[in-house]
Amino acid sequence: MIDSKTIQLTTLWFVVMTFIQTAESGGNPLLSVLAIFAILLTYVLPVVIVGRLAAGVLRD
């Protein structure tokens, strides 16, 4: 069974992907910083999600 933390991380990943696709850079420095952070989350979150799923399978 998938725990609620994994579901929350998956939801966060979809939110980050939506932000990346819809954000306009427009020279705003705050959005640029948020975009860099979002790109990092795009790469890190799938690894964390798969790790949590693998740990859950190995635990059961």
30/28 Cα distance (integer angstroms): 6
- Check whether 11 has a pLDDT greater than 90: yes
Give the residue extent of every domain in the chain: 8-59
Q: Is the entire prediction scored with pTM above 0.85?
A: no
Question: Which tokens belong to 21?
Answer: 């696709």
For residues 5 and 52, the answer to whether their CB atoms sit within 8 Å is yes
- Check whether 2 has a pLDDT greater than 90: no
**Sequential DSSP letters for 17-31:** HHHHHH---TT-HHH
Say what percent of the chain tops pLDDT 70.
Answer: 97
19/12 Cα distance (integer angstroms): 10
